[in-house]
A and B are shown apart, each in its own frame.
Chain A
Amino acid sequence: MNIPEDRNYAATHEWASEPQDGIVTVGISDFAQDQLGDVVFVELPEVGAAVDAGDAVAVVESVKTASDIYAPLTGTVEEVNDDLEAAPERINEDPYGAGWLFRLRVEGDDGRDELLDADAYRSVCEEEA
């Protein structure tokens, strides 16, 4: 199971990168994309939307099922990955890279303390597998 150590995870299987100039990239984990199967549709949040950690802000659908994506942090949607509309399979192919979902501008208490490190997230996955 591929769980990079350079980012944090929510128990609901989203990842959040370290902030760069106040911007955090968000996606879903390798475990999540594997559980979902072939991703065929993605609904992303509006740029400019203010989101709280834990809000359902996006939807990723596979052939079989629709899955809500929760904001791992509190912030403002800065950018969304428009490429996924034409190529949702990137989430399966490269969940930690080209398959990113959206970017958040964060400041102050964004809720990162509540997120898991790679080791803790691995335990979550092992329990669910």
Chain B
Amino acid sequence: MNTTPLTDVHEALGARMTDFAGTRMPLQYASGIAHEHTAVREGVGVFDVSHMAELRIGGPGALDALRTALLNDAKKLRVGRAHYTMIPNDHGGLIDDAYVYRLTEQDYLLVANAANRGAAYERLAAVAAEVPGANVADVSDEWALLALQGPGAALLLDRRVAADLTAVRKNDTLPTEFDDRPIRLARTGYTGEDGFELFVRPDDAVFVWNELLAEGAEPCGLGARDTLRLEAGFPLFGHELTGDTDPRCTPFSWVVKDKPFAGRDGWPEVPECGRRLVGLRLEARGIPRQGYRVLRRDGTPIGTVTSGTVSPLTRDAIGFAWVDADAAEVGTEIAVEIRGQATPAVVAEIPFYRP
């Protein structure tokens, strides 16, 4: 199993560890998921997300390669900007979702899910091989990645980094220093809250992590990362999005820009959305879980829950589900089958939470 530069530190902090996509990662620390979740919503938390994959796309053909390999249009990215994107496959589905950062004129960084590191690299490399002057490298092992998230993140970080954070807007990225250590900073994250991601050298990871804790950041694990992203209405690949997902049938259809892309021939011209991805909220006691059936109020099955939890903040039982297209409108009365019982639910607007 893989480790991160911080695995030993997590264990020393008393984290409950789990195997996530082949890496030994903290699920939660001693104070628990609800405490960590609340810390990010009301204060500041820090996550080790060094398991994520990083690909570097460079050369005069880098932009062309990215425009071909990705659904969002990297042409829109100025130097020092980042956006959410997806990697399409050849049969109308996805290889992964990702974040792409434009570092310099001809140099981009793509952050993909750990589980899809190989597949994302192979796809980008295959596309780049067809584009003159584009090269792709897997640089995952050259970076540790820390996510500092919460309304207190900027104030905390401002004490330690060289950059003027008031000039760093959401989705901006720039090289700077944490004390005297070189880092790449980005005002991005996966919690729905203000925050930053710090790409640090593996040798500096323990130092930066410990300093962030000393400055008051709460260590947070993958459990809170999941409840936070769900509350914020962000999809998780392998749950909401898969190899069969046409993103045009999801709330994230805005990612798909009108341009050619690799694999387009295998995609229907017009999306065939028999089912749509929606948010849902239970109207009675219970918790929706992945795999539970979604029903009409008359009991007819119309879909499946892809993620679900109880919001540690509001106590609302919330989730994502794929449901028949005619039941996808916000406000539609549906039900979730929980242990054989049809529990009333309603199609709900996402995000479930706004800062």
Q: Which A residues lie at the B interface, using CB under 8 A? A: 37-38, 40-41, 43, 59, 61-64, 66, 85, 92
Contact = CB atoms under 8 A, between A and B. Distances in A.
Contact of B287 (A61, A85, A92): A61
B306 to A, nearest CB: 16
B38 to A, nearest CB: 11
Contacts of A62: 33
A54 to B, nearest CB: 17
Contact of B33 (A64, A66, A85): A64
Contacts of A63: 33-34, 37, 223, 227, 309-310, 312
30 contacts: A37-B16, A37-B28, A37-B32, A37-B33, A37-B223, A38-B32, A38-B33, A38-B35, A40-B34, A40-B287, A40-B312, A41-B286, A41-B287, A41-B310, A43-B285, A43-B286, A61-B310, A62-B33, A63-B33, A63-B223, A63-B227, A63-B309, A63-B310, A63-B312, A64-B223, A64-B309, A66-B287, A66-B289, A85-B285, A92-B32
B32 to A, nearest CB: 5
A62 B32 CA distance: 11
A71 to B, nearest CB: 16
Contacts of B339: 43, 59
Interface of B: 16, 27-28, 32-35, 37, 223, 227, 285-287, 289, 309-310, 312, 315, 317, 339
A64 B287 CA distance: 10
Nearest to B31: A38
A85 B286 CA distance: 11
Nearest to B33: A63
Nearest to B227: A63
**In the A-B complex, the 6 residue pairs with the closest CB atoms:** A38-B34, A40-B310, A63-B33, A38-B32, A61-B287, A41-B287
Nearest to A65: B289
Contacts of B33: 37-38, 62-64
A38 B34 CA distance: 7
Nearest to B35: A38
Contacts of A92: 32
Contacts of A41: 285-287, 310, 317
Contacts of B34: 38, 40, 63
Contacts of B227: 63
Contacts of B32: 37-38, 92
A85 to B, nearest CB: 7
Given A40-B287, A41-B287, A63-B227, 16 more contacts: A37-B16, A37-B32, A37-B223, A38-B33, A41-B285, A43-B286, A43-B339, A61-B287, A61-B310, A63-B34, A63-B223, A63-B309, A63-B312, A64-B223, A64-B309, A92-B32
B174 to A, nearest CB: 35
B61 to A, nearest CB: 44
B223 to A, nearest CB: 6
B92 to A, nearest CB: 32
Contacts of A40: 34, 287, 310, 312, 315
Contacts of B310: 40-41, 61, 63
Nearest to B34: A38
Which one of B27, B28, B287, B289 has the greatest number of beta carbons of chain A within 10 Å? B287
A38 B285 contact: no
A63 B37 CA distance: 11
